[in-house]
Amino acid sequence: LLPQSKQSSSYSDRDTTEEDSESLDDMDFLSRQKKLQAEAKMALAMAKPMAKMQVEVEKQNRKKSPVADLLPHMPHISECLMKRSLKPTDLRDMTIGQLQVIVNDLHSQIESLNEELVQLLLIRDELHTEQDAMLVDIEDLTRHAESQQKHLAEKMPAK
Residue 117 maps to a domain = yes
Residue 14 maps to a domain = no
Alpha carbon distances (Å) from 90 to 65, 84, 105: 17, 12, 17
Radius of gyration of the chain (CA): 30
Residue 59 maps to a domain = no
Residue 28 maps to a domain = no
- Summarised one tens digit per residue, pLDDT across range 21-60 is 555 566 677 788 888 888 888 888 888 888 888 888 877 6
Residue 142 maps to a domain = yes
Domain count, the chain: 1
**Domain range enclosing 98:** 93-154
Q: Which residue has the higher pLDDT, 154 or 19?
A: 154
Per-residue pLDDT band at 70 (split at 50, 70, 90):
low
pTM over 0.75: no
Q: Locate the DSSP E strands across 28-154.
A: none
